[in-house]
Structure 1
């Protein structure tokens, strides 16, 4: 089966993307409206199969000059172990708007081996990093 990568949000299955990301450990219960807004303000990449169905996704938050943060990466379970995550990462890594950046970051609980193949490494001095973290923001009814 052949696959292609698109940056055109109109070609992406937002329902599927929301279903996967809203059930993920990193963005559990994210409202669809919030996800859509995040996509509109990021570089998005969808992996499509030959029937043009979304089977993978990634989003890069960036200023396109100095910094990028890789987020929301997934390949559907039934399409894993076919090198598709590597294909997606290679495409993102070669993207013209992501060249010459001083720093690229991501957070992962379980895919360190994949990202290491594309130059990501543990932060040698994590004590310089700070965060403002609201892990239950999507569960709060006031949001």
Structure 2
């Protein structure tokens, strides 16, 4: 029997968000779980962003710089060959500031027309399980709803989308056999953002301090379409209903 490895479809999403005022009091913080991007008003100055799963768009120098900074405090910078291996062995989303809303300026192919301002990657078999890590938005682009939006793109990548989803690649089947996506959030506000945007729930505390019930980082689970616990509960519920 012949075997082969198929390449997953490359997905992309676009959004335009208001440019924050000079005084820094911009749209609602993404960590609140609210959709600050929904406040865009016609005629108001906006910036345009592309989120893409295309690994060829990832700017390795920008990723290396972020990993070497305090922004990704859990990381250490990698040699370029190791960085390439990490990206190639993961499913990554890059977030880019682009010149136009529709990309007609060639921003998808012209690296000089893009600035990579965010990133997220899944360590995954691309079928049943995924672990989300290395999520960041550059400080200059935080508090604008972009982190929550990137996570909604991630959820759509995993769960699929309808053919008429505005601002995204027309259709995606997702990963129908995904059981769970897991991540560890370092703060309550970050965990809340992930739970709202991914449809996840707190599963446990990671490395809690003994005797302190609310300590430790927060382990969040996004149940997938093939989540065994939910499917088992559904089957039992259906069986009980038929028995009645």
TM superposition score category, shorter chain reference: 0.7 to 0.9
Give distance in 2, aligned partners of 1:46 and 1:27: 17
Equivalent residue in structure 1 for 2:199, among 102, 116, 119: 119
Q: Write out aligned runs for 1:1-143 (5 A).
A: 1-23=47-69, 24-50=72-98, 51-95=113-157, 96-110=173-187, 111-117=190-196, 118-124=198-204
TM-score, length-normalised on structure 2? Answer: 0.48
**Deviations, residues 6-61 of structure 1 (Å, cap 9, x unaligned):** 22222221111111123322212343332221110111111111242101111111
TM score, norm. by length of structure 1: 0.78
Counterpart-to-counterpart distance in 2, 1:103 and 1:11: 27
- SS of equivalent to 2:86: helix
Separation in structure 2 between the aligned mates of residue 62 and residue 112 of structure 1, nearest angstrom: 21
Native 8 Å contact 2:52 2:94 kept in 1: yes
Backbone CA RMSD of aligned residues: 2.1
Larger of the two Rg values belongs to structure: 2
Unaligned runs of 5+ in 2: 1-46, 99-112, 158-172, 207-244
Aligned length: 127
Structure 2 CA distance for partners of 1:125 and 1:28, relative to 1, 3 Å = closer
Task: Give the deviation of 1:98 after TM superposition.
Answer: 3.9
Whether contact under 8 Å (1:6, 1:45) holds in the other structure is: yes
Confirm or deny: 8 A CA contact 1:7 1:45 kept in the other structure: yes
Q: State the secondary structure of the residue aligned to 1:26.
A: coil
For 1:113 and 1:58, how far apart are their aligned partners in 2? 17
2:128, 2:57 → 1: CA distance?
A: 28
C-alpha contact 1:56 1:76 (8 A) present in aligned 2: yes
